[in-house]
Structure formats: structure tokens, C-alpha cells
Amino acid sequence: MSAFALTRRSRLALPAIAAAALLLGSLAVGSAFGARLGALMVVGGLLGMVLYHAAFGFTAAWRVFITERRGRGLRAQMVMLAIAVVLFFPALSSGSLFGQSVYGFVAPIGVSVVVGAFLFGLGMQLGGGCASGTLFTAGGGNARMLVTLLFFVVGSVIGTAHFAWWQSLPAFQPVSLVKTAGAGGGIAISLALFAAIAALTVVMERRRHGQLEQAPRVDAGNWRWLTGPWPLLFGAVALALLNFATLSLAGRPWGVTSAFALWGAKGFELLGGDVGQWGYWQASWNAKALEASVWGDITTVMNIGIMAGALVAAALAGKFAPNFRIPARSLLAAVIGGILLGYGARLAFGCNIGAYFGGIASGSLHGWVWLVAAFAGNMLGVKLRPFFFEGQVARVPAAKGC
């Protein structure tokens, strides 16, 4: 049998095995913890496929705008957020969706959010990805991002140790556009802000380049929707719809990083540590999560689904090829970036998904503050990147998708 035949067989077998594992896992979780949780693992899998095939990321989109004034990625994010608020605000205003009670991610605005978001933004550029980006690129076979993910978990649990102190610092009360302006008013205000940001990117891009960047042309073959790539705008629409599906099933928006803190805390306790006296874990919701099975945690189940879905997508695209030869400086950046990502996310009540996407989709002003502070952190991170990636930027796999 030829080597080509073996390679082709393995390329066909890997996505089938990964998809089967995802479906069996969702059935097992659904059987043990309820059908909604099983369905959320499937939603996570779909998120992973969309993120991978559409190469929908936050880190690269912000870096390209900062360095080149190309705003296509930022405009796609505004489309995603616009669809999300139109879907979310009426449901959050009524308090229920399809018979399920729902709530948004609305948090205080204070020193903790500003510092945490800034650190997270810095970590994005050093780690090579955001929260969702770390998951889907690691699941898609990027070995370096496994390092970022490991230290993302480490930084998260450290953040929970310091959480109570940060929350003692000055902060304003939570503000929700849904409550202060109503669903209709909140949607109008949000859409105006999204349009203003998109328009600003258009002006700045045309000033720098004379015209807007065109979406890359791809072969629209019969198998494109299985093997990718997918249009960026398709990714924006799909992520908004899947976040809405998460709201309807989980009763709250999509989140990522609370699971990292939980994994780190459970790992720390396995090593003989005790997190029970830390303020973060004394909150009733977090205390219950710490005592329960990790497989009963919504965010954990969805994160596993995202990685599995990205693995399916990478295998279908024939791009699952982990490379464990990581340059020392790049490895160091993954360690530092991962810690900053995890620590910053805990301080800021979330990441680019929970605080930025979920926060703004919930009408929370802390989501907008997070955006500004995290963008500033990205600007510093971009300046520091040459020290870690000089001469090898083109070989950092995360650069295109997260």
C-alpha cells in the first residue's frame, strides 16, 4: 500500500474519530448532567469549527490594525456584536428566552477591570492568542498554544488568589444599557457605536492605503464548507448566532476563562493546596463549582467542545500537523503571555469572550471599558513582539487566526 494511501486514510480517519468523540462526549455529559449541557458541548464544537475555518480571531485583527491600519477584522467584530445585541437585548429585557430564565454578564467598572483588561491585551500579543484563539488553535494542532493554555490556567488561579484585594479597590456600580435605556434604546446606542468604530477603521485604512483591503479569494469548491476556509463575515454571523444559542441553553452568554480558573484550582488542590479561603472561591457560585464535578461545569464542557471542533476542522482541512520545535524566545513569550492572559481575565471579569463579546452583548458598560483598556495593552504588546519573534514572525501559527 502506498504512502499516499496511508496518508489519505489517516486524513479521513482523524476527523471522523474527533467528531465521534465529540458526539459521544456530548451524549455522556447529557446523560450524566442533563440534555442542555450535552447540547452545549455540541455548540462548543460548532464554535471551534467556525473559529478555525473562518480564522476568526481578535489578536491578529487588532495587531494588523495597530501596525498596518487594516480594519477588516475589526469591522467583522462590529458585525458580530451588532447581531448579538439585536438578539440579546430583547431577551435580557424580558428575563427569559424560550422558557429559560436568562441573565447577562454585567460587572462593575473600576481599577480591577482596567488593569486586568490591559494585562490581558498585553498577554494576547505575547501569548499569540486570546481566550477563544488559544482554545481553537491548540485544538487545531498548534503545539505552542498548548504552552500558552497551560500558563493561562496558571495565571487564572493566581488571579483568584488576589481577586478579593483587587475588588477592594475603587469601582463604579455595574451599568446596563438594557436597564438604563431599554432594549430598543440600548440597541440604538450600541449600533451607533459599532458604526462609528467601523467608520473610523474605514477612514484610517483609506488614509493609509488609499482603498480598503479586499477579502482573499478562495477556491469555492464543492467541499469548501467541510474543509474551509470560510468567509470572515460568515464567521462573525455564526459566532453571534451560536452565542445566542448558548444564552438560550445555558441562561447566560458564552464564556471561556472561568473554566481555566476552576481547572487550576482543582489541580492546585490535587497537589495539596487549599483555595477554599480565597475570596474568589468563597462566592457561592464558585464554591459550588469547586465542589462539583468539572464535567458539570458549563464553561468546561464548552471549552472541550471548542477544542474538539477545531480538531475536526483542522483534520478536514488537512492542516493538523503539530510542530513541537518551538524557539526559546517564542516559548518564553507563550509562558509570560499565558500568565498575563489568565491573571488579567480574572481581574477584568472575563476575557475577549466573556467581558468584550459577552459584556457588550449584555449591554454592560464594563465591556466597553474592557475594549479600550485591552486595546491599549495590545498596543504595548505589539511593540514588545519583535524581541520574542524577530526573524520568525511568519512562522508563528497563531498569527493568522487569533
**CA gap 216, 323 in Å, rounded:** 26
pLDDT confidence of residue 395:
38
Q: Is 331 left (phi over 0), alpha (psi -120 to 50) or beta?
A: alpha
Inform me whether the pLDDT recorded for 168 exceeds 80: yes
Q: pLDDT (tens digit, 9 = 90+) per residue, 84-116?
A: 999 999 999 999 999 899 999 999 999 999 999
Inform me whether the pLDDT recorded for 59 exceeds 60: yes
C-alpha cell at 114: 482596567
Per the DSSP assignment, residues forming a β-bridge with 109 are: 172
Mean confidence (pLDDT) of the chain: 92
Q: pLDDT (tens digit, 9 = 90+) per residue, 343-402?
A: 999 999 999 999 999 999 999 999 999 999 999 999 999 999 999 987 544 333 333 455
**CA gap 235, 243 in Å, rounded:** 12
The full set of domain ranges for the chain reads 10-399
Task: Supply the pTM of this predicted model.
Answer: 0.93
In single-letter form, the type of residue at position 319 comes to K
Q: Angle formed by the axes of helices 131-139 and 328-347, to 10°?
A: 130
**CA gap 36, 41 in Å, rounded:** 9
